Chain A
Amino acid sequence: HPYGNRYAGDKVIRLTPRTEEEVFAFKNIYRRLQVDLWQPSSISYVSEGTVTDVHIPQNASRTLLTFLQGARIQYTVLIEDLQKAVENENNLQTQRNRR
Protein backbone atom coordinates (compact mmCIF):
# COMPACT_ATOMS: atom_id res chain seq x y z
CA HIS A 1 0.00 0.00 0.00
CA PRO A 2 1.46 3.39 -0.98
CA TYR A 3 2.27 5.76 1.87
CA GLY A 4 2.23 2.88 4.31
CA ASN A 5 -1.55 2.67 4.19
CA ARG A 6 -1.69 5.88 6.26
CA TYR A 7 -4.97 7.00 4.67
CA ALA A 8 -6.92 3.86 5.49
CA GLY A 9 -10.27 4.90 6.96
CA ASP A 10 -9.83 8.56 6.06
CA LYS A 11 -12.65 10.36 4.24
CA VAL A 12 -13.16 13.58 2.33
CA ILE A 13 -16.46 15.35 2.96
CA ARG A 14 -18.06 18.47 1.51
CA LEU A 15 -20.12 20.93 3.52
CA THR A 16 -21.49 24.39 2.80
CA PRO A 17 -22.21 26.40 5.95
CA ARG A 18 -25.51 28.28 5.44
CA THR A 19 -25.53 30.59 8.45
CA GLU A 20 -23.05 32.56 10.55
CA GLU A 21 -23.73 30.14 13.40
CA GLU A 22 -22.79 27.17 11.24
CA VAL A 23 -19.62 28.93 10.10
CA PHE A 24 -18.67 29.71 13.70
CA ALA A 25 -19.43 26.16 14.87
CA PHE A 26 -17.43 24.60 12.05
CA LYS A 27 -14.44 26.84 12.62
CA ASN A 28 -14.39 25.85 16.28
CA ILE A 29 -14.42 22.13 15.61
CA TYR A 30 -11.87 22.60 12.82
CA ARG A 31 -9.39 24.27 15.15
CA ARG A 32 -9.94 21.56 17.74
CA LEU A 33 -9.42 18.63 15.39
CA GLN A 34 -6.79 20.17 13.07
CA VAL A 35 -8.18 18.46 9.98
CA ASP A 36 -6.83 19.19 6.46
CA LEU A 37 -8.82 21.57 4.25
CA TRP A 38 -8.81 20.67 0.57
CA GLN A 39 -10.76 23.79 -0.30
CA PRO A 40 -10.71 26.63 0.41
CA SER A 41 -7.02 26.73 1.26
CA SER A 42 -7.48 28.33 4.65
CA ILE A 43 -10.15 28.26 7.37
CA SER A 44 -10.22 32.05 7.30
CA TYR A 45 -11.83 31.90 3.85
CA VAL A 46 -14.80 29.89 5.08
CA SER A 47 -17.97 31.96 5.30
CA GLU A 48 -21.68 31.51 4.57
CA GLY A 49 -22.09 29.61 1.31
CA THR A 50 -18.43 28.60 0.95
CA VAL A 51 -18.06 25.12 -0.53
CA THR A 52 -15.72 23.46 1.94
CA ASP A 53 -13.97 20.15 1.35
CA VAL A 54 -12.37 18.54 4.39
CA HIS A 55 -10.01 15.57 4.61
CA ILE A 56 -10.91 13.82 7.86
CA PRO A 57 -8.42 11.34 9.30
CA GLN A 58 -9.90 8.11 10.63
CA ASN A 59 -9.33 9.04 14.26
CA ALA A 60 -11.32 12.27 13.93
CA SER A 61 -14.04 10.91 11.69
CA ARG A 62 -16.60 9.92 14.31
CA THR A 63 -16.08 13.09 16.34
CA LEU A 64 -16.48 15.46 13.41
CA LEU A 65 -19.38 13.66 11.72
CA THR A 66 -21.27 13.35 15.02
CA PHE A 67 -20.68 17.06 15.63
CA LEU A 68 -21.94 18.03 12.18
CA GLN A 69 -25.06 15.90 12.58
CA GLY A 70 -25.67 17.41 16.02
CA ALA A 71 -25.24 20.94 14.66
CA ARG A 72 -27.49 20.04 11.69
CA ILE A 73 -24.76 21.04 9.27
CA GLN A 74 -25.40 19.12 6.08
CA TYR A 75 -22.50 17.37 4.39
CA THR A 76 -21.86 14.86 1.62
CA VAL A 77 -19.08 12.29 1.44
CA LEU A 78 -16.89 12.96 -1.60
CA ILE A 79 -14.39 10.17 -0.97
CA GLU A 80 -15.41 7.30 1.31
CA ASP A 81 -12.07 5.52 1.46
CA LEU A 82 -9.15 7.83 0.83
CA GLN A 83 -6.51 5.10 0.80
CA LYS A 84 -8.33 3.34 -2.02
CA ALA A 85 -8.67 6.61 -3.91
CA VAL A 86 -4.91 7.23 -3.54
CA GLU A 87 -4.24 3.75 -4.93
CA ASN A 88 -6.71 4.22 -7.78
CA GLU A 89 -5.16 7.50 -8.83
CA ASN A 90 -2.34 5.70 -10.57
CA ASN A 91 -3.09 3.15 -13.25
CA LEU A 92 -1.81 -0.37 -12.75
CA GLN A 93 1.41 0.22 -14.64
CA THR A 94 2.41 3.15 -12.48
CA GLN A 95 1.55 1.23 -9.34
CA ARG A 96 3.87 -1.59 -10.49
CA ASN A 97 6.63 0.92 -11.27
CA ARG A 98 6.30 2.50 -7.87
CA ARG A 99 6.44 -0.86 -6.11
Chain B
Amino acid sequence: SLSEYNYEVYHSLEDIQSWMYHLNQTQPSLVQVFSIGRSYEGRPLFILQLGRKSRAYKKAVWIDCGIHAREWIGPAFCQWFAREALLTYKTDPAMRKMLNHLYFYIMPVFNVDGYHFSWTHDRFWRKTRSRNSRFHCRGVDANRNWKVKWCESEPEVKAVADFLRQHRKHVRAYLSFHAYAQMLLYPYSYKHATIPNFGCVEIAAHKAVKALRSAHGIRYRHGPASQTLYISSGNSMDWAYKNGIPYAFAFELRDTGQFGFLLPEMLIKPTCTETMLAVKNITLHLLKKCP
Protein backbone atom coordinates (compact mmCIF):
# COMPACT_ATOMS: atom_id res chain seq x y z
CA SER B 1 0.00 0.00 0.00
CA LEU B 2 0.97 3.62 -0.34
CA SER B 3 1.87 3.84 3.33
CA GLU B 4 4.25 0.84 3.31
CA TYR B 5 6.24 1.87 0.24
CA ASN B 6 9.17 4.01 1.38
CA TYR B 7 9.29 7.17 -0.74
CA GLU B 8 12.33 8.47 1.13
CA VAL B 9 14.77 5.99 -0.33
CA TYR B 10 16.00 5.34 -3.86
CA HIS B 11 14.40 2.37 -5.57
CA SER B 12 15.67 0.00 -8.24
CA LEU B 13 13.90 -0.23 -11.58
CA GLU B 14 12.22 -3.47 -10.52
CA ASP B 15 10.93 -1.86 -7.31
CA ILE B 16 9.51 1.07 -9.25
CA GLN B 17 7.80 -1.17 -11.80
CA SER B 18 6.27 -3.29 -9.03
CA TRP B 19 5.09 -0.10 -7.30
CA MET B 20 3.41 1.05 -10.54
CA TYR B 21 1.77 -2.37 -10.96
CA HIS B 22 0.52 -2.17 -7.37
CA LEU B 23 -0.95 1.32 -7.84
CA ASN B 24 -2.65 0.13 -11.02
CA GLN B 25 -4.30 -2.67 -9.05
CA THR B 26 -5.26 -0.73 -5.96
CA GLN B 27 -6.18 2.75 -7.26
CA PRO B 28 -8.38 2.05 -10.30
CA SER B 29 -10.40 5.27 -10.02
CA LEU B 30 -7.37 7.53 -10.38
CA VAL B 31 -4.57 5.41 -11.82
CA GLN B 32 -3.97 3.58 -15.07
CA VAL B 33 -0.60 2.13 -16.03
CA PHE B 34 0.29 1.29 -19.61
CA SER B 35 3.38 0.77 -21.74
CA ILE B 36 4.26 2.94 -24.74
CA GLY B 37 6.96 0.67 -26.12
CA ARG B 38 10.21 -1.02 -25.27
CA SER B 39 13.73 0.17 -24.63
CA TYR B 40 16.80 -0.82 -26.64
CA GLU B 41 17.37 -3.73 -24.27
CA GLY B 42 13.70 -4.72 -24.40
CA ARG B 43 12.42 -3.31 -21.12
CA PRO B 44 8.83 -1.93 -21.08
CA LEU B 45 8.43 1.87 -21.01
CA PHE B 46 5.69 2.34 -18.43
CA ILE B 47 3.51 5.43 -18.08
CA LEU B 48 1.38 6.13 -15.05
CA GLN B 49 -1.81 8.03 -15.99
CA LEU B 50 -3.05 9.92 -12.98
CA GLY B 51 -6.42 11.67 -12.80
CA ARG B 52 -10.12 10.99 -12.42
CA LYS B 53 -11.23 9.03 -15.44
CA SER B 54 -13.63 10.83 -17.73
CA ARG B 55 -14.91 10.46 -21.29
CA ALA B 56 -14.96 14.22 -21.68
CA TYR B 57 -11.97 16.12 -23.06
CA LYS B 58 -9.33 16.70 -20.42
CA LYS B 59 -6.11 18.67 -20.69
CA ALA B 60 -2.97 16.79 -19.70
CA VAL B 61 0.48 17.42 -18.20
CA TRP B 62 3.40 15.17 -19.10
CA ILE B 63 6.05 14.55 -16.43
CA ASP B 64 9.19 12.51 -17.11
CA CYS B 65 12.09 11.65 -14.87
CA GLY B 66 15.30 9.74 -15.37
CA ILE B 67 16.32 10.74 -18.88
CA HIS B 68 19.84 10.68 -17.47
CA ALA B 69 20.50 7.47 -15.57
CA ARG B 70 22.62 8.81 -12.71
CA GLU B 71 20.18 11.54 -11.69
CA TRP B 72 18.35 9.36 -9.17
CA ILE B 73 16.51 12.20 -7.44
CA GLY B 74 14.42 12.51 -10.63
CA PRO B 75 12.66 9.13 -10.41
CA ALA B 76 12.36 9.64 -6.66
CA PHE B 77 10.39 12.82 -7.33
CA CYS B 78 8.14 11.19 -9.92
CA GLN B 79 7.14 8.58 -7.33
CA TRP B 80 6.69 11.27 -4.69
CA PHE B 81 4.42 13.26 -6.98
CA ALA B 82 2.14 10.26 -7.58
CA ARG B 83 2.00 9.51 -3.87
CA GLU B 84 1.15 13.13 -2.95
CA ALA B 85 -1.53 13.31 -5.62
CA LEU B 86 -3.22 10.12 -4.47
CA LEU B 87 -2.90 10.85 -0.75
CA THR B 88 -4.21 14.43 -0.94
CA TYR B 89 -6.92 13.99 -3.62
CA LYS B 90 -9.62 13.99 -0.94
CA THR B 91 -8.09 16.60 1.37
CA ASP B 92 -6.44 19.20 -0.87
CA PRO B 93 -8.89 21.24 -3.03
CA ALA B 94 -6.12 22.26 -5.43
CA MET B 95 -5.02 18.67 -6.00
CA ARG B 96 -8.62 17.51 -6.40
CA LYS B 97 -9.19 20.24 -8.98
CA MET B 98 -6.09 19.20 -10.89
CA LEU B 99 -6.92 15.49 -10.88
CA ASN B 100 -10.52 16.19 -11.87
CA HIS B 101 -9.66 18.56 -14.69
CA LEU B 102 -6.36 17.07 -15.89
CA TYR B 103 -4.54 13.87 -16.62
CA PHE B 104 -0.94 13.60 -15.51
CA TYR B 105 1.11 11.26 -17.67
CA ILE B 106 4.06 10.33 -15.45
CA MET B 107 7.08 8.43 -16.74
CA PRO B 108 9.08 7.71 -13.56
CA VAL B 109 12.06 6.24 -15.44
CA PHE B 110 12.59 7.32 -19.04
CA ASN B 111 15.99 5.72 -19.58
CA VAL B 112 15.19 2.29 -18.09
CA ASP B 113 18.29 0.55 -19.47
CA GLY B 114 20.65 3.23 -18.22
CA TYR B 115 18.94 3.47 -14.85
CA HIS B 116 19.19 -0.30 -14.35
CA PHE B 117 22.88 -0.15 -15.35
CA SER B 118 23.50 2.66 -12.84
CA TRP B 119 22.14 0.36 -10.11
CA THR B 120 24.06 -2.73 -11.13
CA HIS B 121 27.34 -1.64 -12.72
CA ASP B 122 28.19 2.07 -12.86
CA ARG B 123 26.53 4.55 -10.50
CA PHE B 124 27.57 7.44 -12.75
CA TRP B 125 26.27 6.16 -16.05
CA ARG B 126 24.39 8.91 -17.91
CA LYS B 127 23.41 7.71 -21.35
CA THR B 128 21.20 4.98 -22.82
CA ARG B 129 22.69 1.53 -23.43
CA SER B 130 22.31 1.17 -27.18
CA ARG B 131 25.05 -0.05 -29.48
CA ASN B 132 25.73 1.59 -32.82
CA SER B 133 27.82 0.07 -35.57
CA ARG B 134 29.03 3.50 -36.74
CA PHE B 135 30.32 4.61 -33.35
CA HIS B 136 32.41 2.65 -30.86
CA CYS B 137 30.93 4.21 -27.78
CA ARG B 138 27.97 2.75 -25.91
CA GLY B 139 24.67 4.59 -25.60
CA VAL B 140 23.70 8.16 -26.40
CA ASP B 141 22.60 11.15 -24.37
CA ALA B 142 18.83 10.86 -24.59
CA ASN B 143 18.58 14.62 -24.12
CA ARG B 144 20.58 15.35 -27.29
CA ASN B 145 18.58 12.93 -29.35
CA TRP B 146 15.28 14.63 -30.20
CA LYS B 147 15.06 15.23 -33.95
CA VAL B 148 18.74 15.87 -34.54
CA LYS B 149 20.73 15.47 -37.74
CA TRP B 150 23.68 13.63 -36.24
CA CYS B 151 21.92 10.41 -35.42
CA GLU B 152 18.65 8.47 -35.31
CA SER B 153 16.47 8.79 -32.22
CA GLU B 154 16.67 6.03 -29.64
CA PRO B 155 13.72 3.64 -29.19
CA GLU B 156 12.88 5.29 -25.87
CA VAL B 157 12.83 8.79 -27.42
CA LYS B 158 10.77 7.60 -30.40
CA ALA B 159 8.22 5.98 -28.10
CA VAL B 160 7.75 9.13 -26.03
CA ALA B 161 7.72 11.39 -29.08
CA ASP B 162 5.06 9.25 -30.72
CA PHE B 163 2.93 9.34 -27.57
CA LEU B 164 3.24 13.10 -27.20
CA ARG B 165 2.38 13.62 -30.88
CA GLN B 166 -0.70 11.41 -30.58
CA HIS B 167 -1.85 13.34 -27.50
CA ARG B 168 -0.77 16.77 -28.66
CA LYS B 169 -4.31 18.20 -28.45
CA HIS B 170 -4.47 17.29 -24.76
CA VAL B 171 -0.92 17.77 -23.47
CA ARG B 172 -0.58 21.41 -22.48
CA ALA B 173 2.57 21.16 -20.40
CA TYR B 174 5.75 19.12 -20.58
CA LEU B 175 7.89 18.84 -17.42
CA SER B 176 11.22 17.00 -17.35
CA PHE B 177 13.21 16.38 -14.18
CA HIS B 178 16.99 16.28 -14.01
CA ALA B 179 19.77 17.02 -11.56
CA TYR B 180 21.87 18.80 -10.40
CA ALA B 181 21.94 22.62 -10.51
CA GLN B 182 18.79 23.98 -8.86
CA MET B 183 17.36 25.60 -11.97
CA LEU B 184 13.98 25.90 -13.67
CA LEU B 185 14.52 26.18 -17.39
CA TYR B 186 12.25 26.86 -20.37
CA PRO B 187 12.81 27.10 -24.13
CA TYR B 188 14.82 27.77 -26.06
CA SER B 189 17.84 25.69 -25.32
CA TYR B 190 19.21 25.48 -28.84
CA LYS B 191 19.29 29.20 -29.59
CA HIS B 192 19.27 32.63 -27.95
CA ALA B 193 15.75 33.78 -28.79
CA THR B 194 12.58 34.64 -26.87
CA ILE B 195 9.62 32.31 -27.13
CA PRO B 196 6.34 33.85 -28.31
CA ASN B 197 4.51 33.16 -25.01
CA PHE B 198 7.45 34.36 -22.93
CA GLY B 199 5.28 36.54 -20.70
CA CYS B 200 3.12 33.76 -19.33
CA VAL B 201 5.92 31.22 -19.11
CA GLU B 202 8.24 33.60 -17.27
CA ILE B 203 5.53 34.48 -14.74
CA ALA B 204 4.80 30.80 -14.19
CA ALA B 205 8.51 30.05 -13.69
CA HIS B 206 9.02 33.01 -11.37
CA LYS B 207 6.06 32.00 -9.20
CA ALA B 208 7.18 28.38 -9.20
CA VAL B 209 10.70 29.10 -7.92
CA LYS B 210 9.23 31.47 -5.34
CA ALA B 211 6.87 28.75 -4.12
CA LEU B 212 9.75 26.26 -4.08
CA ARG B 213 11.88 28.62 -1.98
CA SER B 214 9.06 29.08 0.52
CA ALA B 215 9.44 25.48 1.65
CA HIS B 216 13.09 25.28 2.75
CA GLY B 217 14.72 28.46 1.47
CA ILE B 218 16.37 26.73 -1.48
CA ARG B 219 17.17 29.17 -4.29
CA TYR B 220 16.62 28.23 -7.91
CA ARG B 221 17.71 30.22 -10.92
CA HIS B 222 15.18 30.32 -13.74
CA GLY B 223 15.04 31.45 -17.33
CA PRO B 224 15.63 30.32 -20.91
CA ALA B 225 17.93 27.28 -20.90
CA SER B 226 20.31 28.76 -23.48
CA GLN B 227 20.94 31.73 -21.20
CA THR B 228 20.59 30.20 -17.75
CA LEU B 229 22.54 27.04 -18.43
CA TYR B 230 24.16 26.82 -21.84
CA ILE B 231 23.20 26.33 -25.47
CA SER B 232 22.45 22.71 -26.28
CA SER B 233 20.35 21.17 -28.99
CA GLY B 234 18.25 18.07 -29.42
CA ASN B 235 16.70 18.14 -25.98
CA SER B 236 13.20 17.03 -25.12
CA MET B 237 11.99 20.39 -23.82
CA ASP B 238 12.65 22.22 -27.09
CA TRP B 239 11.17 19.33 -29.07
CA ALA B 240 7.99 19.38 -26.95
CA TYR B 241 7.63 23.12 -27.36
CA LYS B 242 8.23 23.07 -31.10
CA ASN B 243 5.73 20.24 -31.48
CA GLY B 244 2.80 22.16 -30.08
CA ILE B 245 3.07 21.84 -26.29
CA PRO B 246 2.90 25.47 -25.21
CA TYR B 247 4.42 25.14 -21.73
CA ALA B 248 7.64 23.16 -21.53
CA PHE B 249 9.99 23.22 -18.54
CA ALA B 250 13.06 21.37 -17.39
CA PHE B 251 13.88 21.18 -13.70
CA GLU B 252 17.43 20.72 -12.50
CA LEU B 253 16.84 19.55 -8.92
CA ARG B 254 19.16 19.69 -5.92
CA ASP B 255 21.89 20.30 -5.22
CA THR B 256 24.62 22.56 -6.62
CA GLY B 257 27.57 20.22 -6.14
CA GLN B 258 28.05 19.36 -2.49
CA PHE B 259 26.69 15.87 -3.16
CA GLY B 260 25.95 16.20 -6.88
CA PHE B 261 24.34 12.99 -8.15
CA LEU B 262 24.77 11.38 -4.73
CA LEU B 263 22.08 13.36 -2.94
CA PRO B 264 21.63 11.51 0.36
CA GLU B 265 18.29 9.83 0.95
CA MET B 266 17.63 12.07 3.95
CA LEU B 267 17.31 14.96 1.46
CA ILE B 268 14.72 13.23 -0.75
CA LYS B 269 11.84 14.45 1.38
CA PRO B 270 12.72 18.17 1.50
CA THR B 271 13.71 18.15 -2.18
CA CYS B 272 10.43 16.54 -3.20
CA THR B 273 8.20 18.64 -0.95
CA GLU B 274 9.59 21.87 -2.34
CA THR B 275 9.43 20.63 -5.91
CA MET B 276 5.78 19.64 -5.44
CA LEU B 277 4.98 23.25 -4.64
CA ALA B 278 6.65 24.38 -7.87
CA VAL B 279 4.86 21.80 -10.02
CA LYS B 280 1.46 22.51 -8.48
CA ASN B 281 2.09 26.22 -8.97
CA ILE B 282 2.93 25.78 -12.65
CA THR B 283 -0.05 23.51 -13.26
CA LEU B 284 -2.59 25.76 -11.54
CA HIS B 285 -1.09 28.80 -13.28
CA LEU B 286 -1.52 27.15 -16.66
CA LEU B 287 -5.03 25.97 -15.86
CA LYS B 288 -6.16 29.45 -14.97
CA LYS B 289 -4.22 32.17 -16.63
CA CYS B 290 -2.50 31.20 -19.81
CA PRO B 291 -4.55 31.06 -23.05
Contacts and interface: CB of A to CB of B under 8 A. Distances in A.
A41 to B, nearest CB: 7
A85 B122 CA distance: 14
Range of interface residues on A (Cβ < 8 Å): 20 to 34
B10 A14 contact: no
B170 interface: no
A90 B232 contact: no
Interface stretch (B42-50, B55-63, B97-105, B261-269): B261-269
Contact of B265 (A2, A45, A85, A91): A91
Contact of B124 (A2, A14, A55, A90): A55
Contacts of A85: 259, 262
Interface residues of B, number: 23
Interface stretch (A19-27, A32-40, A58-66, A67-75): A32-40
B230 A78 contact: no
Given A36-B124, A53-B257, A94-B9, A89 B263 contact: yes
Interface in B236-285: 257-266
A42 B31 CA distance: 38
Interface of A: 2-3, 6-7, 12, 14, 36, 38-42, 45, 50-51, 53, 55, 78-79, 85-86, 88-91, 93-94
5 contacts: A3-B122, A12-B260, A40-B229, A90-B10, A93-B9
